[in-house]
Structures are given as structure tokens and as C-alpha cells.
Structure 1
Amino acid sequence: MTENAQSSAGAVSGVEIVLDHVSKTYPGQKTPAVADVSMTIPAGEIVVFVGPSGSGKTTTMRMINRLIEPTTGKITIGGKDALSLDANKLRQSIGYAIQQGGLFPHMTVAQNIAVVPKLLKWDRSRITARVTELLDLVGLDPDQFADRYPRQLSGGQQQRVGVARALAADPPVLLMDEPFGAVDPITRGLLQDELMQLQAEMRKTIVFVTHDFGEAVKLGDRIAVLGEQSRILQYDTPEAILANPANDTVAGFVGQGASLQQLNLMRVRDVDIEDRPTAHEGDSPAEFAARIDDWGVILDARDRPIRWTDRAHLDGAASLKNVGLPLGELVTTASTLQDALEAILAERNASTVVTGPRGRYAGVVTIETLIDAIRAMRDQHRGDPPIAEAGLVVNSTVEPVADVDSPSR
């Protein structure tokens, strides 16, 4: 997480986790699945376990909430010995999110989210308020989604509900086992951005398992690159691992795109976000047109961007409800510069709309801003190969290609 993110984030609500010489050997096996792991996971940070299949990263994570019992070693969570606590109570105090949400198919969305609060015997009004709050937090309209069943949701929506359920009892620790691995790449990027937005507000301690090093760079405050038996090959910040892989195995994870990965180290919030005129659907089209020089953004009742328009679209319009064109691919303030670049290039426009917490409009990031940021990064890393893989030649003038039937954005 960048300094800018830390300075604007809320107070830390997570707690420190310490693994002290932790091992796991399954009955009947001589070789341990996890061998002598020691590490400290700082409070309020996202630590990503990345490694090949069979490296024991999921086993290591599951020993934290004792879904798998360690054979030897000690685990402390917030200074308390996790192995001395009642296992069920321990799990109720730790959020857990897995692929496809792991939702109970016979329960509604609201009932799924309420599982742990009910076990903790919260009263009904408190549970209802918490479900409503969390659905709003993960970008799902409570009135629209609370009574649906998992089969009525898309993969991305199921995953959002899974995260909401993991957060239901406001746990200090959240374990996430390849939670976004089963969704399409576009949805995956959006879910990653939303997790970063949530973390900026909550500052939980999050342990995240993935096999995707790019995802680890994007999400992690720190990355633990694990080898066989979860041996820690390198445990450091993404910047340090990209710049100085500890050995050839770590360098293999980093891959040939290390220069491009640098784009995943900066967030949209770290660059200039420009403003554009906005209006809600109930506002006057004439008044909105008077404020527009080039184009503007139409918002819904919750300040979320839904369409964009120019003066030509507004000419003679009686209402803003059906005016304008749908927005293309959006990014969030937590999105990386790589995400923003891909969004702009995919739409072949000069900018893309940025949203903030809970999907609210935050502004616009332009191709010129990204080029300036890429040039600055290039100047800082003069010895690195040129960032040509990003799809831009930063020494050239970029001429955005406008849609035939719409103004350039």
C-alpha cells in the first residue's frame, strides 16, 4: 500500500498474526506438507501467499483459523495463542472467503450474510442493519439482492456476497483463499479493486492466497513467495521483490514483464483525477447542458455514474433519465495504472471514469495523465527495459480515436 493510501485510510482494525515454527504433517506421511514456517503478518495489511500448486499455501493459511490443525509450532493472533482457544469461537472471529463465495444454496443472500451474527446471537434488528450495511458496502442494492438465492446471482455477485458474509461480524482478520480465481478476467479486476477500496476503509489484516503473481503485486502490502512445503523463498514488499528477486525461483514468478508490473505499483488515486460536470437523473437537462463544455456524467440516486452525455444529446431533452450513452469500462481509485491504461485502450477513448468507495463518482483519468506517470516511472528506472509491453510508445504523441457517433472522451 502506498504512503498516500495509508495517510488517507481509516484506523487499523486488524491485528498482528505470528506463525512461529509452524509445521503440518498428515497421518501416514513422512514428509510434512508445511515445514517450519515462521513469519509475522502486520496488523492492517494485506499479505499475499503466492506459489505453485501443491506448495502448501492454502494449508498454511487454514492453520491460522484451525480448519487444519498444526502438527507443531505456535500461532498467535492479536497476541493470543490461537491453539489454546476454542476452535469454533476462533473461526467465528475470523472472516473466511473462498472461490465462488461458498454460499449456502438454500439460503437467501441476506440469510447467507447473517450466518455468523446468528451464531453469535445478535438480535434481529442488528442483523438486518448489518446485512443492509454490508450489501451497500460491496456494491449490491439491498432492496434488489437481499432476498435472492445464490443461483440467481452472477459469479461476481456471488463473490461479493461471500466477502460480505466474511465481514459480517466485523472480524479483525480475513482469510481469502483464491477468492477471485473462478470469475472472468474483467470481473476479477473489478473485485480486486473493490477489495482495495474496502481495505482502505477497514484496514483489516488480510491473508490472501493466489497462484497469480500479478494479482499478488496488485493487492499485497507484502508478498510471501512460497516454495515446496511452504518454505518462504522471499517475504517483502512488491516493490522490493520486483526490483531484487531473492533467487531464480522467485525471478521465475516475477517473469519477463517486471517493467510492466511496475504499473501495478501505482494506483489511480496517486495521479491527478480530473473532474467533469455531473447531474442526477432528476436534474434539469437545460441546466446541465449549460455547465458542459465537452461532456458530462449522469449519476443515479446513490451518486454512481451510469451514463455520459454531451450538449447534442441534451438538446431538447425533457429528462435525463434516458439521455446519453452507457459508460464503458470503469476504474476505481484503488485500480492500478495498468487497469486504467487497459480500460482507456479497450474503449479507444481519451479517458475513463473513476469511482470511489461504494461505486460513487470520483472523476476522470485521462490518457495524458497516464503517459506523464509512465514517463516519470521510466525516468526512475532508467536501467529497466522500456515499457513497450503496456501498449503505448511513451515517446510518441497519442491521438485518441473517438467513437464515430460520439464525442471524444
Structure 2
Amino acid sequence: MSMINEQEFKKLAGYNNETCISTFIPTQRAGKEVLEEKNKKHLNSQWNEIRKKLKSDKVADETIEKIGNPILALIDDRDFWRHQSDGLAIFASSEFFENYTLPVNFEAYHYISTEFYVKPLVPVMTGDGRFNILSIQLEDVKFYETSKYSISQVEIDDLTPSRLEERVGFDYKEKALQFRTQGEGGEKTQFHGHGGNERDENVEIKQFFRAVDQGLKDYLTKDKLPLIVFCQDHLFPIYKDANTYNHLIDKVISGNPNDTDMLGIQQKALEIAEPYLNENRNEKIKKYKELSKTENTSSAVSDIISSVYQGKVDTLFIENRAEIWGNFNEDQMKVEFSDQQENGNISLLNLAAKKTIEMGGKVYLVEHEFMPNTESKMNALLRF
């Protein structure tokens, strides 16, 4: 899966060419639609529409061919279509081509301009909805940085013991607390030995879990993100007892981590993390409403865009599925509005979104009814 990071987002946001194509389609991961090549047909349909529009705009045939060749190659790549997520984003010019398979439910859309249309990628770049996953067994420890749209493993071998024996000593088995993990159904780890009892076993496990907790302490407290644990059910109470991190979620991903791939782990974790994903966004909306009668908020598009370029915007709220067309003169700090896309104008929402992120602000795509000020398609919480 080709995910997108901040560096790639900024590369797309800063790219300009005489003809830039941005296209988005929803995709299916599996099932009847994949077998019937629905994803492939959807992209082919989008490209046909784009090509007709380019021709009507009198774009040179050579330019259209250069833009279309990698798209057509993608359409014919059968292996590519076997590995899809929820959405496909493509960015192309005569000199540039990138595609991203993302867990984002895009609506089918294409945009032709001198810039790329990156607004639909904002949810991936928001940074909120981030959390960590600790996959822990007595013989294995893994750690993941995760969001609604991505998951990546973080190497922690230099921070924590990777298995129980490293913490309690390699004479652990010789001391008769040998263990074996049942492979099916997340069954309880069984201990065997000379006179060992459950209390002794739990003490040893707690020592191991405490070492993991302490090893991750500095890393976790840096961002204070929610932590979700993936382990067998009977181990979680012991981990909670050993834990000192204040943002541990009190619900476990139960089962055997060995039975689940990385994307499966992410999906299981999202079911638990969902209530926490929009906390920061909701806090910002609440703050906007509290300050709505002060100079620290704005719903005037012209003022907001000027503030974005001056680095004054802390948080930008953009109405999802909405658009504002026009142009912005940076030298004069002046916005000109249009009723529709025409005569080389651009999406002002796209402009504001990419510039806000470039300037270090947060951007949220928000449904109309949840906008802080529903009378405007763009709201801004300004820096104090």
C-alpha cells in the first residue's frame, strides 16, 4: 500500500505546471467488485472524461499523451488492482506522476488546473486520530504508530526487552516456570515446573511488563497519544497493573497477535480507538465557538486566506464536499471570487488547506452541520 507522508504532501502541494491532473476514485479491497474489475473500469472512465476535457481546452496531443501514458499503464496493471484499499488518488502532469492507495473513501472527482488538488488528502495529514498499539506476548513485543489512515511499526529493541526471558533471566525455564503459548483462540499461556504457582507466574510476567512500560515511557510521554494493547485476555489485567502511562485505553484487542497481519491489527484497533479520533477536532470547534465574538476567529474567506499567508491561522475548518472558486493575489493580499471553475481560476479551499499545512496549522474537513459557523464554507481559529 502506497501511503503518503508530510514530505510527499508538501511536494504535491507545491507543484505547478501548465496542466496538472488530480483524480480520485473510490476502490474496493476485495469481493465481487474486484473480480469484475470495477476499480479499473472506474479509473478508465475518469481518464476518458479528463482526456475529453483536455482536448476541449485545446491542450496539445503530445501533452495529453504524456499525462495519459502512466495512467493507461496503471489501468492495464492487473497486479496493481489486486492490492487496493478504500481510495485511489492520482496526480499527473506531462513531467510528473504519482499514485497513492489510501484507506480514505474518496468520492469520484477530477481537477484540472496549474496545481494539484490536495484537499481530499487533508484527513491523512491532519495528525489527529493518531494512537499507538503495543502488541505484547511473553515471547514477542511489537509497537506501532497508527492513525485512521496508516500504520507503521516502530523498532523498540533498544528500549524494551523483546521477550520475558530477557527480563527475568535465561534461567527462567531452569527455575521451572517454563511456558508454552497455545496457538489457537488466544488461549492462556500454560506454565509447568517444580512447585511454580499462578502467583509466582504473575509476578514474573508483571516484571516483564513493567520493563516494557518503563522502556516506552519517554517515547510515549513525548506525544501523549492513546495506547491500545493487543494481547491475550488473561494478560491484560497484569499489564494494566504494571502500567504507569496515563493514556492507556482500558480496553484490549484480544487474541493472539501472531494470527493477524499489520492492517488487520490496525482495523481491530480502530474499533476501539474510534471514540478518541476526533477529540482534538472537537476541542478546536468548541474553542472557536467560545471565541466566536472575538478577533481570534474568522469566517470571512478573504480575511482567512490573507491570514493563512501571514501564518496567523492555528486551525482551519473547511466544509467537506463544498467548493469556492476564484484567485488570490499574494502581492496585494486580495481575493477574487468566481461562480464556477473557469478561465484558469482555482479552488480557494484547496489553496487555503495546503498553505495552512505548509505554515504549520491544522486543517479539518468538516461536514456542513458540524462547521463552527455554518454560514461560511471556511472558518478559522487564529493564533493568539
Which has more strand, going by share of residues? Answer: 2
Give me the TM-score of the superposition, normalised by structure 1.
0.24
